Amino acid sequence: MAEDVLAESGPIDYLVVEFPGNRMTGEGLPLLIDLVDRGLIRILDFAFVRKDSDGTVTGMEIADFDGDGLLDLAVFEGSGSGLLDDDDLGQAAGVIEPGNSAGVLIYENTWAAPFATALRRGGARVVASGRVPLPDLLRSLDELDATEGASDDAATRPSATG
């Protein structure tokens, strides 16, 4: 049964988002909810971990992160596929600094499901995937701009023979 459901699924991704000083404002939550409401993603699992200054890792309950008296994540309460376990949360905590917390999100890219399903039906399979971190992309674009700027300068300089 699980294979049948997955055959019609989009790519599954995860995010670990670190919150320095355990400061979660909830500012991104309406945007996450909008992605779900528009059917672009489907949340499979959503959890939080905290890493104390001594390195102790604890799970965090869905709570009122911005202090307005309302549960900020009530819409996600009870959502969980069981994909995230204690080992996963421990690994997530391993990439955050002591004194910080993190949200761990596993989601399906439902927008890509029809494309992915068509590829699978045709016998194709994904053999690699990844993400380009934004700082790396910005650095590459800066390097490209610098290279193009240098070649533009060379094209406008008078030549020694001309």
Q: Which residue has the tokens 């919150």?
A: 19
Whether 139 is in a domain gets the answer: no
Q: How does pLDDT run across 97-136, given as a tens digit for each residue?
A: 999 999 999 999 999 999 999 999 999 988 888 888 889 9
Residues 6+ apart with CB under 8 A from 72: 26, 29, 62, 63, 64, 65, 66
Whether 31 is in a domain gets the answer: yes
Whether 87 is in a domain gets the answer: yes
Whether 147 is in a domain gets the answer: no
- Mean pLDDT of all residues in 21-48: 88
Structure tokens at 137: 């992309």
Report whether 40 contacts 111 (CB < 8 A): yes
What is the distance between the alpha carbons of residues 81 and 111, in angstroms, rounded to a whole number?
20
Which pTM value belongs to this model? 0.72
| Host domain of residue 29 | 2-111
Whether 9 is in a domain gets the answer: yes
Whether 57 is in a domain gets the answer: yes
pLDDT tops 80 at residue 154: no
Look at the chain and report how many structural domains it folds into: 1
Q: What is the mean pLDDT of the chain?
A: 81
Q: How does pLDDT run across 63-84, given as a tens digit for each residue?
A: 545 445 555 555 555 556 677 8
Beginning with the edge strand found earlier in the chain, give each strand of the sheet holding 57-60 in spatial order: 12-19, 100-108, 42-51, 57-60
Whether 142 is in a domain gets the answer: no
Whether 92 is in a domain gets the answer: yes
Report whether 52 contacts 99 (CB < 8 A): yes
pLDDT value for 68? 54
